[in-house]
Structure 1
Amino acid sequence: MRYFELLLGLRYTRAKRRNHFISFISLASMLGIALGVLALITVLSVMNGFQKDIRAKLLGGASHIEVGGNPQLAAWPQVLQSVRKNEHVKGAAPFIFSQGLLTWESNVRGAMIRGVLPGEENKVVDIGHHMEQGKFETLMPGSFNIVLGSELARQLGVFVGDKVVLVAPDGQVTPAGVMPRMKQFKVSGIFNMDLYEYDAALAMIHLKDAQKLYRLGDDVTGIRVKVDDPDRAPFIRQEILRDLPRDAYATDWTLQNATYFRAVQIEKTMMFIILTLIVAVAAFNLVSTLVMSVTDKQSDIAILRTLGASPSSIMGIFMIQGSLTGFIGTLLGVVGGVSLSLNIDVVVPWLERVLGVHFLSKEVYFVSELPSDLHWGDVSVVTMIALSLSLVATLYPSWRASRVQPAEALRYE
């Protein structure tokens, strides 16, 4: 494209129009593109941050791989030794998982009961580093101590030193009927994983105490495994599975949480499509702006054609004019979207204080604060889409301008 088209296109963009309505429509198109791009970048950053934050918190309390038996894992010491031989395994610990009712005075709450070996469990998950009160190491065999999630402890109304009663679901048969098994435990610690699913439902006791309470003998539910690279957990699981006995199985965190992460990805894709349509609507407002501009400048176009300007030159002038409007709108949107994404941890709390509401309740969502993780790849894709749509929107009006006949346009001048 020659310097002539560029210079004239820039001049038409800067010039004050005789028709103020055209200027208003042009400004509205520019701001529409800017807002669409801003919203798209911000929403994608929030979805990325949400996915990253949830993954980190899930892996903070969940094992990367779990090895289990059917229904229990009997020869678990041999299986544990076999698992630890894998070069990618950083830690492995036996566990017992069951359910129960915790009671204190008149308060009753259901809980997920996990029997663990504290020294080994700390090599698999980092619950020991999230203790609010007490110590994780107070879980000793025969002590019948229990460590509770912070929300579960709050619901029961207990603190460190209080004694709760754990009711096991499978009772013992007596002449009077089936009687539930109950055992008193002393609260020796309270942890806070900042993940409501764990904080409101998880209680941990020593492995030996769990074996006695649930009458498992020397059996365990399974073995929890931590690997060096969580993203390679499915492949490492296959390696571990080859050395397991026939009655054992293995699963990994991607299978256990597959539905959730798939739902987040689908939601991210749908939001991208919806917000791209908003950008498209704003970009195609340029069509009406340029059509009116072409109509307004028919005499100018006719004079340029008379002076020797080719139809392709006329088309280039108006493509530059429309594309520049789209470029400015996209630039404003990118700057605003990046700024908002990088400062969303400041903007959202400020809005919550001003409006007096809390957008994310930890009882409903996995997180209580709106996270953000800006990916420059997403910014590049959004920018290219917005610029491409703006360019496409200029084609028809520019082509229409190139078809203006000088004689017809100047007949009544």
Structure 2
Amino acid sequence: MAWRYLRARKAEGFVSVIAGFSFLGIMLGVATLIIVMSVMNGFREELVNRILGLNGHLNVYSQSGPLQNYMSLVDRLEKVKGVESVRPMIEGQVLISVNGAANGAMVRAMDREDFATKPLISNSIVQGQLTNFKDQQVAIGSELSQRLGLKIGDSMTLLAPKGKASPFGTIPRSRTYTIGLIFDVGMFEYNSGFIFMDLKSAQQFFRLPNAVNSIEVMAESAEGADKIKEDLLQAIDGAAGIYDWRESNSSFLNALAVERNVMFLILTLIILVAAFNIISSMIMLVKDKGKDIAILRTMGATQSNMLKIFTLTGSIIGLSGTVVGALLGIAFALNIESIRQFLQGLTGTDLFAGEIYFLSKLPAVVDWQEITIIVGMAFFLSILATIYPAWRASRLDPGGQTLSVLHNINVEVKAGEIVALVGPSGSGKSTFLQTVGLLDKPTSGQITIGGQPIDNSDDKARTLMRRQYIGFVYQFHYLLPEFTALENVVIPQMISGVKRRDAEEKAKALLTSLKMEHRLEHRPARLSGGEQQRVAMARALANNPKLLLADEPTGNLDPETSEIVFEHLIHLVRETGVGAIIATHNMQIAERMDRILELKNGLGSNQLQRHLLLE
């Protein structure tokens, strides 16, 4: 039923449009959140991997100048449990001079053998060969080579800020080196501003004979670097300080974390707004389906049943939007670089500038645990948004306000007996049937069904009694418009707990007995008035009620059709042995029934005691 209500007809087109926008809002919100979080995860993982591929997990440094006798420190550090490798290094700032052009850079020097142990460097060489890398040669990034117009074999002059004092001032140290390698590590910062050279060459250039200014330590894992930090400090016995990769990149990592959390919050609010759009669509749906709710309640649907139907209706919107959004977001995230290149080629603009984002391509890492959280959150918000409209639908009262209509009526209807209820308009016939049908509650007196007094029962008990003992046929058919003739007869049985297959067999038998076997799959809009009433009669008798209540069942039909429908009704009542009360203005029809009860201004013609007994 929930699914049918979402497949609105033209009359409910606006409801369908709002539901569609709710679906799109949740879908796009979930997809966007997954894409953004995946890109943020990719940024962090890619940058951290590249940072750790070029830098150590920990760095040992001296606070009072170069590290002299550094090999003894290296030996002590290598003996610490959890240390994978130790590399002495020299780092220093320089100014590059090429053909009158100048550019600042950072020199990082280590033993030539250590370059091969850094896959990010050794696997990123785009020009030259690492095996041919010699003294007095340097490796520069691809961006720097393009900026200065350098290639393999060209020369460049490096100037160090600390020079030699002379009568004319400080003379910067300078030396010319040959370009031996060009690398591209995928990070703009390193490609445009880093120079790698052999450790001995750097010691000569920076005038640090037999000394270095830092020692790089690689732990067995980056996450375990902080665990061995104390052991390293004890090993060097205060000879130097140590900082790990998190401390050296704390500002960068904190900025990523803050940006990620803020984006998550903003996009979650978008999903929240989209989820609460379901409220408006569901409220409109409840208002539009007011008649359907009343019909279902007369069939014996409880408030809990109505709550489930409309909660499920809203949940379908939320769940489908969440699932489609998740699939769209995952597919987009997994192919985001290809999509970027396509859009970039289509628009002719740079959509991901490396100098801004420090990466040459757009990364994305799909975190399945995070996606599970996003999907769960979106679905929870969708269900939360359906609670109020669904509760409102469950509280709709098919009865109405308290009115003083019926007085001094005592009627007993036996199995197989047909009682005609007649009287002028406004005499209380419909109210009488609604009261007997447990839709209205009498202010006094007693209603007894099967020997059980039920006038003071709560709504659930009255609903269950109505489901078990009573069938309704109205002047207007009140069939559920979204369902076929067969389904309209199946639904009350399924409400009573009958399996669908069994319910369909019985519904087919009832409709066949009413000459409707050729119209089983047609919806009410495609049936004539007489056919609609025959379906309504089959629906009323689907649960084998003890009492059939019919309120002017042929009042809207022409005389010929009215006679056909009435004959079918009488035949079914006689065949099933059900008791029946049929309200009618037609005295000719009334006289064909077993007894006649006439109402005048809410009073029974026999004016007996205030007791209404139904068996």
Normalised by the length of structure 2, the TM-score is 0.62
Q: Which residue of 2 aligns with 1:9?
A: 2
Q: Aligned-pair distance for 1:78?
A: 0.4
* Residue correspondence of structure 1 range 335-354 to structure 2 within 5 A: 335-354=327-346
What's the secondary structure of 1:243's corresponding residue?
A: helix
* Residue correspondence of structure 1 range 59-98 to structure 2 within 5 A: 59-70=52-63, 71-98=65-92
Larger displacement relative to structure 2 (116-125 or 33-42)? 116-125
Structure 2: runs of 5+ lacking an equivalent: 402-429, 432-475, 477-615
What's the secondary structure of 1:172's corresponding residue?
A: strand
Looking at structure 2, the residues matched to 96 and 349 of structure 1 have their Cα atoms a distance apart, in angstroms, of 39
Q: Aligned-pair distance for 1:295?
A: 1.2
Q: Which residue of 2 aligns with 1:312?
A: 304
What's the secondary structure of 2:217's corresponding residue?
A: strand
Q: Which residue of 1 aligns with 2:169?
A: 177
Change over 3 Å in CA distance of 1:335–1:132 after alignment to 2: closer
Looking at structure 1, the residues matched to 11 and 351 of structure 2 have their Cα atoms a distance apart, in angstroms, of 47
* Residue correspondence of structure 1 range 8-407 to structure 2 within 5 A: 8-14=1-7, 16=9, 18-70=11-63, 71-123=65-117, 126-136=120-130, 140=134, 143-407=135-399
Looking at structure 2, the residues matched to 193 and 107 of structure 1 have their Cα atoms a distance apart, in angstroms, of 24
CA contact (8 A) 1:72 1:221 kept: yes
User: Could you report, residue by residue, the CA deviation over 1:56-77 in whole angstroms, capped at 9, with x for unpaired residues?
Assistant: 2112211222111122211211
Looking at structure 1, the residues matched to 198 and 20 of structure 2 have their Cα atoms a distance apart, in angstroms, of 68
User: Could you report, residue by residue, the CA deviation over 1:170-207 in whole angstroms, capped at 9, with x for unpaired residues?
Assistant: 12111122221222222222222121111111112332
Change over 3 Å in CA distance of 1:352–1:124 after alignment to 2: closer
CA contact (8 A) 1:103 1:156 kept: no
Change over 3 Å in CA distance of 1:284–1:220 after alignment to 2: same
Change over 3 Å in CA distance of 1:345–1:114 after alignment to 2: closer
CA contact (8 A) 1:65 1:250 kept: yes
Q: Which residue of 2 aligns with 1:4?
A: none
Looking at structure 2, the residues matched to 129 and 295 of structure 1 have their Cα atoms a distance apart, in angstroms, of 66
Structure 1: runs of 5+ lacking an equivalent: 1-7
Q: Aligned-pair distance for 1:124?
A: 5.2
Larger displacement relative to structure 2 (71-80 or 293-302)? 293-302
Q: Aligned-pair distance for 1:208?
A: 2.4
CA contact (8 A) 1:76 1:222 kept: no
Q: Aligned-pair distance for 1:348?
A: 1.8
Looking at structure 2, the residues matched to 15 and 186 of structure 1 have their Cα atoms a distance apart, in angstroms, of 75
CA contact (8 A) 1:136 1:147 kept: no
Change over 3 Å in CA distance of 1:341–1:115 after alignment to 2: closer
CA contact (8 A) 1:92 1:226 kept: yes
Q: Aligned-pair distance for 1:328?
A: 1.6
Change over 3 Å in CA distance of 1:97–1:38 after alignment to 2: same
Looking at structure 1, the residues matched to 154 and 86 of structure 2 have their Cα atoms a distance apart, in angstroms, of 31
Letter in 1 for 2:357: Y
> How much is the aligned-residue C-alpha RMSD, in angstroms?
2.1
Question: Sequence identity of aligned pairs in percent?
Answer: 35
Q: Which residue of 1 aligns with 2:571?
A: none
Q: Aligned-pair distance for 1:138?
A: 5.1
Looking at structure 1, the residues matched to 118 and 50 of structure 2 have their Cα atoms a distance apart, in angstroms, of 14
CA contact (8 A) 2:8 2:15 kept: no
What's the secondary structure of 1:215's corresponding residue?
A: coil
CA contact (8 A) 1:74 1:220 kept: yes
CA contact (8 A) 1:92 1:123 kept: no
CA contact (8 A) 2:50 2:120 kept: no
Looking at structure 2, the residues matched to 234 and 42 of structure 1 have their Cα atoms a distance apart, in angstroms, of 32
Looking at structure 2, the residues matched to 307 and 184 of structure 1 have their Cα atoms a distance apart, in angstroms, of 96
Letter in 1 for 2:74: L
Change over 3 Å in CA distance of 1:74–1:124 after alignment to 2: farther
Paired residues in the alignment total 403
What's the secondary structure of 2:86's corresponding residue?
A: strand
User: Could you report, residue by residue, the CA deviation over 1:353-376 in whole angstroms, capped at 9, with x for unpaired residues?
Assistant: 112112111111121221121121
What's the secondary structure of 2:85's corresponding residue?
A: strand
Q: Aligned-pair distance for 1:20?
A: 1.5
Letter in 2 for 1:208: K
Change over 3 Å in CA distance of 1:52–1:192 after alignment to 2: same
Q: Which residue of 2 aligns with 1:3?
A: none
Greater helix share, structure number:
1
Q: Aligned-pair distance for 1:27?
A: 1.2
User: Could you report, residue by residue, the CA deviation over 1:329-371 in whole angstroms, capped at 9, with x for unpaired residues?
Assistant: 1222122122222222322211111121121111111212211
Looking at structure 2, the residues matched to 155 and 136 of structure 1 have their Cα atoms a distance apart, in angstroms, of 23
Q: Aligned-pair distance for 1:274?
A: 1.1
Looking at structure 2, the residues matched to 299 and 30 of structure 1 have their Cα atoms a distance apart, in angstroms, of 26
What's the secondary structure of 1:146's corresponding residue?
A: strand
Letter in 2 for 1:41: I
CA contact (8 A) 2:108 2:196 kept: yes
What's the secondary structure of 2:213's corresponding residue?
A: strand
Looking at structure 1, the residues matched to 84 and 306 of structure 2 have their Cα atoms a distance apart, in angstroms, of 68
Looking at structure 2, the residues matched to 113 and 65 of structure 1 have their Cα atoms a distance apart, in angstroms, of 19
Q: Which residue of 1 aligns with 2:459?
A: none
Q: Which residue of 1 aligns with 2:499?
A: none
Looking at structure 1, the residues matched to 208 and 29 of structure 2 have their Cα atoms a distance apart, in angstroms, of 60
CA contact (8 A) 2:80 2:235 kept: no
Letter in 2 for 1:13: L
CA contact (8 A) 2:6 2:16 kept: no
Q: Aligned-pair distance for 1:167?
A: 1.1
CA contact (8 A) 1:149 1:198 kept: yes
Looking at structure 1, the residues matched to 292 and 127 of structure 2 have their Cα atoms a distance apart, in angstroms, of 80
